[in-house]
């Protein structure tokens, strides 16, 4: 049974308010909060701080923190073949556990309370998330390389995980999803099986799609269709599906995604650093009614998990490419990183409002980035970075206070030891 937390005198939308948290939820916001009895309620002094919803990283590969800084500034296929795949072959359960713990530490420190992950050795990531107190949707990576034997193995793994995690939710904070890697690594038959499993069991699906021009031209050559049209023909576009990247989609494909209720996750840092391109069609997608969230991608392509930086990059890249300073506003980016991310993860979070999950952050206003404070949201998105976060509450529990996370030294030390074997 969780207790009660009261945050006193914190800035929220320009007002000083008190926020009462009971159990995992925000129960009340106002100025007339009663004195709490001697029932062990925790009081947090919110003065000099502003509250924001916990940020939601809608696409990452948490344990890839282990490969941070390996293979930068080299071409994508060289990077994958020479750097990532050989190192991934060495990964143990313990490696993924500590890599994911480091990712959680980094997310907490920069204000992220929930994330959608896709990686190998999912139970190790689940353990790390459970210990660190975050919320996540963990997508089991499915790959068959168009080989029916591998496809059967992948299905068995999905069924076993689903059963093992008690119908997909082993902990109220952790939910199973399915992560077919991409259309060039997963057969159409397995994609259809995944869609059916997802429909029967109410499990979300996330896939990398339309990330590079090369992927599109290969899809045209192999399937005679662009990536979104190919998924449309397979019949696997659904409201349970989100696509990571979606950099190369035309107007008709945007219409197909919108009609099917598919959601999109934009990863500006990764798309930029890997040289994938600048032309993410954020505005057109939102106009068509598509929910667009934001993600960092894994730390070996981006190379951090800072969602405040991600909001800035998404805005600035869009303004620069479109030559339009009015587009992709700070407030719009904050919405994508909170409310829209929550919709993609299927959680009642992303708002500071009674009845919503108590996933929130307090931001320290006594810093240059928030001085002067003519416009808090602009300062948050354009001037600050993840280091502005002072306190993080997830699921009604404090996971960071005064910028300190319990056990952080051990995590850093253990990852340093483990990472020695990766080159």
**Longest distance between any two alpha carbons in the chain, whole Å:** 69
Q: Which of 28, 153, 319, 348 binds a second copy (CB under 8 A)?
A: 319
Per CB under 8 A, contacts with a second copy among 107-136 are 109
**Token reading at 412:** 């850093």
Site string for a second copy, 373-412 (x = CB under 8 A): xxxx-xx--xxxxxx---------------------x--x
Q: Choose the binding region for a second copy from 36-44, 253-261, 394-402, 413-421 (rule: CB under 8 A).
A: 413-421
Q: Does 315 bind a second copy (CB under 8 A)?
A: yes
Check: CB of residue 152 under 8 Å from CB of residue 167. no
Q: How far is the C-alpha of 373 from the C-alpha of 370, rounded, in Å?
A: 5
Q: State the minimum distance, in angstroms, from the CB of residue 107 to a second copy.
A: 9
Instruction: Name residues whose C-beta falls within 8 Å of residue 335's C-beta, 6 or more positions apart in sequence.
Output: none
To the nearest 5 percent, what fractions of the chain are helix, strand and coil? 40, 25, 35
Q: Which of 304, 310, 336, 338 binds a second copy (CB under 8 A)?
A: 304
Q: How far is the C-alpha of 32 from the C-alpha of 55, rounded, in Å?
A: 28
What phi and psi, each to the nearest 5 degrees, are found at residue 171?
A: -155, 145
**Nearer to a second copy among residue 181 and residue 273 (C-beta):** 273
Distance spanning both ends of the chain, measured CA to CA: 45
Q: State the minimum distance, in angstroms, from the CB of residue 303 to a second copy.
A: 4
Q: Choose the binding region for a second copy from 121-129, 145-153, 158-166, 301-309 (rule: CB under 8 A).
A: 301-309
Q: Does 306 bind a second copy (CB under 8 A)?
A: yes
Q: Does 14 bind a second copy (CB under 8 A)?
A: no
Q: Does 41 bind a second copy (CB under 8 A)?
A: no
Select from 92, 53, 105 the least CA-distant residue to 305: 105
Q: State the minimum distance, in angstroms, from the CB of residue 22 to a second copy.
A: 32
Q: Choose the binding region for a second copy from 140-148, 185-193, 269-277, 356-364 (rule: CB under 8 A).
A: 269-277
Per CB under 8 A, contacts with a second copy among 52-111 are 65-70, 72-76, 79, 102, 105-106, 109
Q: State the minimum distance, in angstroms, from the CB of residue 366 to a second copy.
A: 6
Tell me the HSE value of 93 on the side-chain side, using a 13 A CA sphere. 4
Q: Where are the alpha helices (DSSP H) in 202-355?
A: 213-223, 227-234, 251-260, 268-273, 282-287, 307-322, 330-335, 341-345
Per CB under 8 A, contacts with a second copy among 194-223 are 213
Q: Choose the binding region for a second copy from 128-136, 164-172, 250-258, 270-278 (rule: CB under 8 A).
A: 270-278
Q: Choose the binding region for a second copy from 10-18, 37-45, 284-292, 315-323 (rule: CB under 8 A).
A: 315-323
Q: Which residue has the tokens 């993609």?
A: 344
The DSSP call for residue 65 is G
Strands 4-12 and 15-22: antiparallel
**Token reading at 268:** 């500006």
Q: Does 47 bind a second copy (CB under 8 A)?
A: no
Q: Does 245 bind a second copy (CB under 8 A)?
A: no
SS3 for 60?
A: strand
How many of the chain's residues bind a second copy (CB under 8 A)? 74
Select from 160, 180, 179 the least CA-distant residue to 170: 160
Per CB under 8 A, contacts with a second copy among 138-197 are none
């Amino acid at each position: 049974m969780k207790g009660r937390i009261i945050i006193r005198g914190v800035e929220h939308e320009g007002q000083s308010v008190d926020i009462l948290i009971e159990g995992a939820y925000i129960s009340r916001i106002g100025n007339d909060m009663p004195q709490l009895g001697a029932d062990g309620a925790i009081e947090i002094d919110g003065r000099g701080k502003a509250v924001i919803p916990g940020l939601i990283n809608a696409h990452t590969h948490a344990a890839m923190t282990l490969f941070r800084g390996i293979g930068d500034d080299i071409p994508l296929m060289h990077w994958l073949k020479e750097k990532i795949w050989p190192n991934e072959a060495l990964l143990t359960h313990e490696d993924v556990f500590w890599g994911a713990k480091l990712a959680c530490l980094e997310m907490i420190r920069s204000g992220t309370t929930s994330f959608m992950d896709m990686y190998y050795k999912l139970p190790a990531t689940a353990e790390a998330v459970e210990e660190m107190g975050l919320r996540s949707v963990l997508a089991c990576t499915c790959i068959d390389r168009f080989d029916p034997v591998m496809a059967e193995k992948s299905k068995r793994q999905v069924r076993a995980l689903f059963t093992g995690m008690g119908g997909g939710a082993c902990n109220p904070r952790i939910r199973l999803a399915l992560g077919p890697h991409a259309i060039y690594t997963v057969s159409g038959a397995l994609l259809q099986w995944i869609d059916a499993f997802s429909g029967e069991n109410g499990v979300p699906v996330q896939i990398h799609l339309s990330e590079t021009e090369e992927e599109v031209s290969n899809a045209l050559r192999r399937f005679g269709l662009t990536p979104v049209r190919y998924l449309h023909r397979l019949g696997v576009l659904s409201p349970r599906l989100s696509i990571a990247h979606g950099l190369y989609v035309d107007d008709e494909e945007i219409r197909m995604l919108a009609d099917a209720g598919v959601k999109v996750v934009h990863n500006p840092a990764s798309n930029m650093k890997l040289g994938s391109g600048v032309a993410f069609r954020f505005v057109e997608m939102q106009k068509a009614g598509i929910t667009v969230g934001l993600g960092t991608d894994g730390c070996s392509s981006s190379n951090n998990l800072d969602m405040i930086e991600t909001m800035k990059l998404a805005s600035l890249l869009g303004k620069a490419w479109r030559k339009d300073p009015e587009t992709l506003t700070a407030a719009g980016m904050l919405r994508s990183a909170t409310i829209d991310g929550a919709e993609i993860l299927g959680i009642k979070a992303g708002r500071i409002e009674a009845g919503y999950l108590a996933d929130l952050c307090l931001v320290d206003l006594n810093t240059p980035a928030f001085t002067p404070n003519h416009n808090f949201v602009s300062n948050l998105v354009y001037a600050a970075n993840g280091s502005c976060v002072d306190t993080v509450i997830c699921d009604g529990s404090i996971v960071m206070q005064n910028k300190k996370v319990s056990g952080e030294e051990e995590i850093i030390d253990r990852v340093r030891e483990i990472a020695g074997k990766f080159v």
